[in-house]
Amino acid sequence: MTLQAWIDGVFTGSIYALVALSLAIVYQPTRVMNFAQGEALILGAVVGYQVISLGKLGWVVAILATLALATLMGVLSERMIMLPVRLSGSRFAWIVATLAAALIFQSIFTLGYRDVDALRPAPMAEGGFTLAGEQVSWQIVLTVAIALAVMAGYDLLLRRSTYGRAIRAASHNPGTAVLMGIPVQRIIVLSFVVATVLSALAGLLAAPVLFIGPAAGLIFTIKGFTAAVIGGVGSPRGALAGGLIVGVLDSVVRTEINATAGNLVVFGLLALILLVYPSGLFGKPMEAH
């Protein structure tokens, strides 16, 4: 077992944690698990590749472009997903709606970059350092630090702010929240936007290190979903714990055995944890709307 496997695991785990948090942000006010969330991560990688690698415009422009396009994608995602869900009246309509949105975005990215194997821009932080004989890039350190800061910041926002109280009220009972004057629809749109921005920034930061292809969005959705369920859907701390568990375990097993064994162990752990903790490690039982 090498230190490099742990370093890689913590890095990928921080990305999975951000995707898990994004899934939780949308789930709280809507009870919809957005299976198109990974496509937002691909958007960030696409912007980084287009702006930094092809356009040579630098990271500041890439970050601003990512924020703008992710905001637009978040608003579009809310309309593409929530409108069919409301009109259908089916409790399972969200599954079809989110998968349809994922396929639409995936097709756009694949058609636009069909000749590109990896959307890999130059790193924001060049170089690195040696730790116990293993090379660690500054891009990895920066990404993990930002992920931890985002997790801590959102957890504090959820607990201490008016937005957090509105989210909790809309999550508990949207009908009562409306009667109390809480703009539930606006909260839902904002949740999609915030979740999309976080995932897109995760993709932008991860792209210089990870192999991210135009059609890889669903893979990140599945790993982020696994992390969210292990940690407890709706909990920022759970998203972090679940992401690190999935990332480190997957990386170590892949290094020691092979990729197939990594997936087997991760999903086996998911099944085991759900048997013992049905709501995840940090989650609380929630009633469906």
Instruction: With CA atoms as reference, report the closest residue to 231 among 273, 185, 275, 170.
Output: 273
The predicted model scores a pTM of 0.90
Return d(Cα 82, Cα 182) in angstroms, integer: 18
Confidence (pLDDT) at 169: 75
Mean pLDDT (whole number) for 199-225: 92
Q: What are phi and psi of 253, to 5 degrees?
A: -65, -40
| Cβ–Cβ < 8 Å for 169, 180 | yes
Query: b vs e for 60-88, b when ≥16 Cβ sit within 10 Å of the residue's Cβ?
Result: eebbebbbebbbebbeebbebbbebbeee
* pLDDT tier for residue 179 given thresholds of 50, 70 and 90: low
Higher local confidence (pLDDT), 200 or 233: 200
Q: Collapsing DSSP states into helix, strand and coil, what is residue 129?
A: strand
Place of tokens 């869900």: 85
Return d(Cα 102, Cα 242) in angstroms, integer: 23
224-277 confidence digits (pLDDT tens): 999 998 888 777 788 888 899 888 888 888 777 776 777 788 888 788 887 887
> Two tokens at 224?
């982020």
pLDDT of 283 above 70: no
Domains of the chain (ranges; CATH) run 3-276 (1.10.3470)
Confidence (pLDDT) at 125: 81
Strand partners, 128: 137
| Cβ–Cβ < 8 Å for 40, 196 | yes
Return d(Cα 16, Cα 226) in angstroms, integer: 9
